[in-house]
Structure 1
Amino acid sequence: MAPSSPLPMDPIAEARRQWIVHGWTDAADGMAAFSSVMRTHQIMYSRVDAVLKPLGLSYARLEMLRLLTFTRDGALPMASASARLQVHPTSVTNVVDRLERDGLVRRRAHPTDGRATLVEVTGAGRTLVEEATAVLNDQVFVEPGIPAGDLRRLTQILARFRRHSGDFTDPPEQPEPL
């Protein structure tokens, strides 16, 4: 949560200065970068939450609905949703429980795998995710407060960090369409 008024100095820059003063110069930039990303996450999450909360959604619920609407049939096995959202299966179950309770998704048996359960978006879920996406795009994503070129560079830097941390691998190059 952002303070009610801006601080008179950057506490992360001060922490970096203190790291150097205490002899941890080789770690100062890393500490400042990690702290900056974590603080930025808090600020960004607060902005998104302020837009989604009036719609009865959290970002996790929005992600699940949006993921389902991106599929051909509006449904995915729970395990696939967990993998694609990069969250523990228990977290997916909790999100799906709440969405199902609100009539935004339903569970159904997988047609060919008796061990799997599909989660499927309902008409109400489709309507809400479209509304939420439009509001989020308009109020947050179109003007995020970072210039477009910087956004692309930031995304590339973070993707490189994530890839090197084992978060994902680059897919094989796709052939040109026929």
Structure 2
Amino acid sequence: MEILIRKAYKEDAAEAIPLIMEAIGDISMQMTGETEEVAITKEFIHLFTRTDNRHSYLNTYIAELNGHVAGVLVFYNSEQAISLDANLEAYLSNKKGAAVTIDPETAPGEWYIDTVVVNPAYRGHGIGTKLLSYAEHLVKSSGGGKLALNVEMEKDAAIRLYNRLGFVTLCPWTIIGEPFHHMVKTVVAN
């Protein structure tokens, strides 16, 4: 099974967005300003094809298998997060006609795994681990640093995977009023 990890293209939106939505759950409503699944999906596809927000194809990597999206990694650093989220807040505020605030998800100086998800048809083949390793590779090649992610407190299997890969729980974190573990791994440069 040959898995290719590559930068996303705008054309990946139709396959990537449903996976991202599955992974982030109710956060998708905050990120799109929508409440109905069809409208959320349409808005997410629009945001994916733009270049100025956290869920842009420019911040997304695809695990491709047999020409299909087998997994998705959304990844950026904390400095990028500031402008990406400011752009998204401005977009959503204009759309809603009222101020919208996006909860910060990363601490200063971190590289952030916003989303990692595997297509259900391809789960159990190590694709998630490959995507996480790819994020680590990107941090190493950029001089090293802290690699971070947030995981819902009840997702025991995911927490075990992250612990096995060297992530440790740094602190609790809150996103849209829900509790998460903020997990970090120190990555040394090549």
Larger radius of gyration: 1
Bigger fraction of residues in helix: 1
Higher relative contact order (CA 8 A, sep 6+): 2
TM over 0.5: no
Please give the range of the TM-score, normalised by the shorter of the 2 chains. 0.3 to 0.5
TM-score, normalisation: structure 2: 0.32
TM-score, normalisation: structure 1: 0.33
